[in-house]
Amino acid sequence: MLPAVFLDRDGVLIENRADYVRDWSQVVLLPEAITALSRFRNMDYKIVLVTNQSAVGRGLMSLNTAEEINHKLAKVVEEQGGRIDAIYMCPHAPEEQCECRKPRPGLFLQAARELSIDLRASWMIGDAWSDLLAGQEANLQGVIMLKTGRGANQLQQSRPENIGDFLVFDGLSEALDAISKLGAFVKKG
């Protein structure tokens, strides 16, 4: 079993949009994030994208379009020297009360089963309380809030009562550096 770094998509790898990213033409990459992933390409861990995409459940875009956006993003990351090993997406609207929508841990548990991930040695990096809560519910080693995307605003709001300890960083590069320094991952030989 390998550890993983779970990443939220919007606000971590691409810019958030109040009206949802509904087409590839609306994707604005966070260049520092893409560069950070390329620097960590040879680390011995899985990189897993876990993303809520309620625009599908709300009827604002098709499931196929959401999947295309995710796959194009993974391809861009690979072309820039990084990698995303797997993508798990919740397409449901919040009122559907599904198990896969963060802050619930369903996407993490599914990834652990399918990819043989050691959750207790894994990390979640996101820009919202729901990301951190999902990681904690999945019993990950740690969770990290980025100040990118919605993160800075989330940190100004009331902290959820049930949230435990978490780390805060300005961007993905600093977060991955911290995980590496904490000794969670070993470089491939």
- In the chain, domain spans: 4-116+159-181
The active-site residue, picked from 8, 44, 127, 131, is 8
pLDDT tens string 50-91:
999 999 999 999 999 999 999 999 999 999 999 999 999 999
Would you state the pLDDT for residue 139?
Answer: 97
pLDDT of residue 187: 40
Q: Is 127 a catalytic residue?
A: no
CATH superfamily of 4-116+159-181: HAD superfamily/HAD-like (3.40.50.1000)
Known catalytic membership, residue 10 = yes
- CA-CA distance, 135 to 21, in Å (whole number)? 23
Please state whether the predicted TM-score (pTM) of the whole model is above 0.75: yes
**Is residue 126 scored above 70 in pLDDT?**
yes
Segment 27-54 mean pLDDT: 92
